[in-house]
Every structure is written in structure tokens, then in C-alpha cells.
Amino acid sequence: MLQTNATDQFAGVVRGNLELLDGRFTNTLSAEYSEINRTLLGDFDPFLATGTRTNIDYLGVLTVNQDWTVTGGLQHEKTKSEGNSESSFDINSVFGELAFTGFENLVITAGTRYDDHQTFGGNASSRITASYTVDQTGTKILANWGQGFRAPSISQLTFAWLTFSGINEDLNPETSTGFEVGFVQPLAGDRVSVGATYFHQKVNDKITYVNFTDGYDNIDKTLSKGIEFTASANVTDTISVNANYTYTDAKDVTDGNEVPLIREPKHLISGSIQWNPIEKLSTSLLVTHNGEEQQLDGSTLAKWTRVDVRVSYELMEDLNVYGRVDNVLNTEYQYIPNYGTPDRSFFMGLRKTF
């Protein structure tokens, strides 16, 4: 059954900044609102819905002295869905981070976050990061460990295709634990940079899309590990390039099994070329290659490559006109079988900062 999807979106943000203690204490208060109206155009419309998200958050950064920096904040988020299935929930969060730079070339940060979800209750997560720069070579060594928490979105909780069952009460939030180690190496007088990072992450109750009828479900235990390579270079004063390659080995390890995760490409490559021929004009060419992916029915989703173009011109201070062309080559590709992706698309607008 072929359906055409129509989506209207609106988003707005207001942000205020206040500096105290001669700039050592910065405060930022933000209020965001977004709305999306999604519908399928046809005789049968299971996706008729309006979703809204309201977010208010505060972020404070205090530089205690040259060795210590304290960051803290509060966040309130409310999401709501109206349509075939109606629901709403609030999330209240508090977070903090402490950074120490008292040892030469070493930076250590430790942070924690507590989320109080209206439906799923409270969850605390923490992280620790460290970086060390070797004087003789300029090599930066990086490491971090962290925990994560992600509650299902309203669209995931209320997804329904053939039956309008309301809230999926069996869908649980994701929790994760992982670590990364890597390095960044400058070369050619800092005009070139290369790096590599190994990552290892365990996720409990990973949220995954199943099919039109069943919507979303949890995978009990998953393990994702792999390595990411990065490279960048300032070719000339006006041209720079970036490249990234990620190899991911992602598996469902429930009950000791090792089954490849669906919709997780082993190979992901991206790159860009930025050209700024004059001070006010910036352009970029972006290329993304997504490798083959395993699907739920055992089939393989074909690999694809997409090319995008971006252009921005400064009309006057703090006012830019911009344009972009997505999928320049009009490539036919899919993230999920039978879910269409846009053909060649054109966008243009004005951006004003205050």
C-alpha cells in the first residue's frame, strides 16, 4: 500500500545570557517550543497526529579559579501528542559537572545527571572524561566512561498501524554503559589532524522499530563496539577538508547469543569540502556513504551514497542568507524498507542572530 506523507513543522527558541563576577559566572536561560503535524494522505490514515515539545532549561558555568570549573543546570521538558492516541509526559532534570586542569596538559571532568520521568520514574547517570597532551609530539590522548538513559518518545509509545492500542505499556526506557579511548595527532604545523577512537557500549532494553503492526519493542541486551577514524586538513587559506570512517560491530547479545543488530551499518563514511572564496561567502560539499544493513526479515538493505551542498552569504553583520540542496544526485535510498526518503530537495532562508 503506497501512502504519501505530509508534515508541517514549527520551531522557535528564546535565549538570554547574563555574566556575573567579572565574567567568571555565566548564566544562560533558554525556552524552546516545537510543533509537528504529521499525516498520511489517503483513505486510511493511522498517523494523524500533532506533537508538541516545550523545553525550559538553565545552564550556569562558574570559573572558581584557574584549576577548577563548575557547571550545573536544570531542565524541564514537556511533550504532548494529540491524534489517534493522546498522551503527554514531563521530564525534570538536574545535572552538574566538575572540571579540573591543575596538572599540566591534563584535563579531567566528572559529571552526573538525574532525570525524573513522569512515566518511568527517576534515573541517575554519570560520566568521567580525561585528556592528556604530549608536549613533544602534540598528541592528545582521550578517554571517557559514561552511562546513559533514554526514555521512549511519545511517537514510539503511541505508534499504531492496524490497531489503535493507545500507549505501549510494555516499552521500557534504554539504559547504557560505555567507554572510549583514542588519540588526535596534529601534523604539518597543525594544518593536518588525524585521529582514531575505539568505542565499546552495552545497552539494556534498546528501543527498536519492529514493523507497521507492532510498532516499537525492546531488545534486552546489545553490544556495540568498533573504531572511528578522523582526518582534517586546511589545504589552503580558503579550502579545508574533513573525513570520517566508522566501523561498527553491533550485536544482540541477549541470553549469550550474538545476532547482528538490524539497521546498524558496519561501514559509515562521511566527508566534506569547505570553500570560502571571500570573507562573506561560505560553501560546502558533503558526502555520506551508508553501508549495507541487516533487516528484521533476514534481507539486506542496499548501501547508498548521498551528496549535499550548502551555501551561506553574510548580507550584513549578524544577518545571513543561506541555501542548501539535499540529495543533489537524486539518489534513491532507504533507512528502513518501505519508508521513503526525499528526492532532490531545495531550501533557502534568512538567519538573524541577536
Task: Return the pLDDT at 42.
Answer: 58
Task: Return the pLDDT at 255.
Answer: 87
Alpha helices in 172-263 (DSSP H): none
Residue 217 contacts by C-beta under 8 Å, 6 or more apart in sequence? 170, 171, 207, 208, 210
Task: Return the pLDDT at 301.
Answer: 87
Task: Return the pLDDT at 162.
Answer: 46
Task: Return the pLDDT at 47.
Answer: 53
Report in angstroms the alpha-carbon separations of 57 from 63, 75, 112. Answer: 20, 4, 16
pLDDT along the chain (354 residues), means of 10: 68 93 96 83 58 93 96 94 73 96 96 92 95 95 96 78 63 94 95 98 91 81 97 96 97 89 93 95 96 84 94 91 95 80 91 77
